[in-house]
Amino acid sequence: MTSTTLYERLGGERGIAELVEDIVAAHMQNPRIQARFLPYREDPARLEEVKGHLRDFLSAGSGGPHEYRGRSMPEAHRGMNIDEAEYMAALDDILAALDRHGIDPQTRLEVLGIAYSLKEEILHV
């Protein structure tokens, strides 16, 4: 068991900011889900807002100091009708980013567990 928080193991504020940049860039390259994200290139202000929410979501959910002020998971993904393959593609991007950032396997599993637990709140809502 480790005594550091998940937030610390993800690299704190800076590590999480880098992870979010990497994950969003990966989503934009990922053929299974890029159509969901590419339109945000035309709206940089909105993209920054969503990235800020993603950073705060990760911080708040990992024991960090930031408060999440975005929408709930069902509200944020309502009407997108996200399917299982898209969900797995997003998880792949997240795991690959954690790997690239040198996050240890135990911590990656922990993040995977949390991400997976949100599935019912995001799929087909």
59 is an interface residue for ligand HEM by CB under 6 A: no
Considering only 19, 82, 98, 103, the residue that binds ligand HEM (CB under 6 A) is 82
Instruction: Compute the distance between CA of residue 36 and CA of residue 81 in angstroms, rounded to an integer.
Output: 11
By CB under 6 A, the residues from 16 to 55 that bind ligand HEM are 33, 36-37, 50, 53-54
Nearest residue to 90 via CA among 46, 29, 11, 18: 29
Give yes or no for residue 71 binding ligand HEM (CB under 6 A): yes
Sign, CA dihedral 34-36-42-43, equals negative
Judge residue 76's burial from the number of C-beta atoms within 10 Å of its C-beta, 0-12 exposed, 13-18 middle, 19 or more buried.
middle
Shortest distance, position 4 Cβ to ligand HEM, whole Å = 22
Catalog residues that contact ligand HEM under the rule CB under 6 A: 33, 36-37, 50, 53-54, 57, 70-71, 76-77, 82, 86-87, 90, 115, 118, 122
